[in-house]
Amino acid sequence: MRFDVITLFPDLVKDSFNYGVTGRALTSQKILLNTLNPRDFSNENNGKVDDRPYGGGPGMVMQPEPMIKAIRQAKSESKNPYTIFMSPQGNIFNQAKAEELSDKQHLVIVCGRYEGIDQRIIDSEVDEECSIGGYILSGGELPALIVMDSIARTIEGVLGDADSVKTDTFSDGLLKHPQYTRPESGSYGDVPEILLSGDHESIRRWQLKQSLLKTRKNRPDLLEIRSLNDEEQELLEEILREEQG
């Protein structure tokens, strides 16, 4: 997987890949990363890439020519680039989208700044707009890093344990069950006895019930769109009976 990021702050992106899972993936060449700064494609001596918006309004808008030149340079690095623009107006990015985008061989990720980018950039160069949530940030770099980290985790060989992806929150449409490690007990609480029992089937069922419980409490919308199997329905009914006393 190759990532090309169009950004006014390339060091912000590149420095983030010095750590953790994405850093190891980059070192092992499971992923490739390149950044392009639109200022390098500006015709202005000072590298200007923004101007006042037509029709009035606050702030500045990123100009089309430097951005389009940078995007097209990035696209020229492969035969099948796919371009996404990080935007609060885009489709919500989720685990399913991460897995979908991981099938692409080359992602060009466009990061805006100021009040946004000229619409002609989107119309001519962008395949999809993506949002990480219903709030505003100063630019697209942090959302781009989130997208790349999420996608990288789904690529074979990136995680040390391939089963980690299968058990992550959202991997099966439920939130992840609580997790514990040593010590077994302390002034801050004890590890549930069932996890110390060695009974793998009972542990699996307990973890599934806890996932359903947490999802119902924190993200009930996920249960509304999920088809529960017989065991999950049975456990959910058990949870409801316990709540009703």
Q: Which of 99, 181, 79, 194 is nearest to 147 (CA)?
A: 99
Query: Confidence band (pLDDT; 50, 70, 90) for 167?
Result: low
Task: Quote the pLDDT of residue 166.
Answer: 56
Q: How does residue 240 score in pLDDT terms, banded at 50, 70 and 90?
A: very high
Apex 181 CA angle, 179 and 187, nearest 5 = 100
Query: What is the predicted pLDDT for the residue at 47?
Result: 95
Q: What is the pLDDT of residues 41-75, one digit of tens each?
A: 999 989 999 999 999 999 999 999 999 999 999 99
Distance from C-alpha of 69 to C-alpha of 41, rounded to nearest angstrom: 6
Print the SS3 string covering 165-233: HHHCCCCCCCCCCCCCCCCCEECCEECCHHHHCCCHHHHHHHHHHHHHHHHHHHCHHHHHCCCCCHHHH
Q: Domain boundaries in the chain? A: 2-154, 185-244
3-state secondary structure at position 107: strand
- Is 153 a catalytic site residue? yes
The pLDDT assigned to 168 comes to 60
Which pLDDT does position 181 carry in this prediction? 94
- What token pair was written down for 103? 């099938």
Contact 120, 145 (CB under 8 A): no
**Percent of the chain clearing pLDDT 70 (strictly above):** 95
Q: If you average pLDDT over residues 156-164, what whole number do you get?
A: 75
pLDDT on residue 109:
98
Contacts of 118 by beta carbon, 8 Å cutoff, 6+ apart: 61, 62, 63, 64, 67
Contacts of 113 (CB under 8 A, 6+ apart): 8, 50, 62, 138, 139, 140
Q: Please, are residues 89 and 119 in contact by the beta-carbon 8 Å criterion? A: no
Determine which one of 66, 81, 153, 232 is catalytic: 153
What is the CATH code of the structural domain delimited by 2-154? Answer: 3.40.1280.10
Provide, rounded to the nearest whole percent, the portion of the chain with pLDDT above 90. 93
Mean pLDDT of the chain: 94
- Among 2, 168, 219, 226, the one annotated catalytic: 168
CATH topology of domain 185-244: Trp Operon Repressor; Chain A (1.10.1270)
For residues 203 and 179, is the Cβ–Cβ distance under 8 A? no
Q: pTM of the prediction? A: 0.87
Catalytic residue, candidates 39, 53, 77, 88:
88
Where do runs of H (alpha helix) occur along the chain? 10-16, 20-27, 64-75, 95-101, 119-125, 141-154, 163-167, 200-218, 220-224, 230-244
Q: Is 65 a catalytic residue?
A: no
Name the residue type at position 43.
Answer: N
What pLDDT does 245 receive?
77
Any idea what DSSP says for residue 32? E
Say if residues 243 and 231 touch (Cβ distance below 8 Å).
no
Number of neighbours of residue 29 by Cβ within 10 angstroms? 7
* pLDDT for the residue 165: 59
The pLDDT of residue 152 is above 90: yes
DSSP code of 53? P
Q: What is the pLDDT of residues 81-140, one digit of tens each?
A: 999 999 999 999 999 999 999 999 999 999 999 999 999 999 999 999 999 999 999 999
Task: Write down the catalytic residue from 115, 128, 149, 172.
Answer: 115
168 is catalytic: yes
The whole-number pLDDT of residue 173 equals: 87
115 is catalytic: yes
Q: Which of 22-26, 60-64, 164-168, 217-221 has the lowest mean pLDDT?
A: 164-168
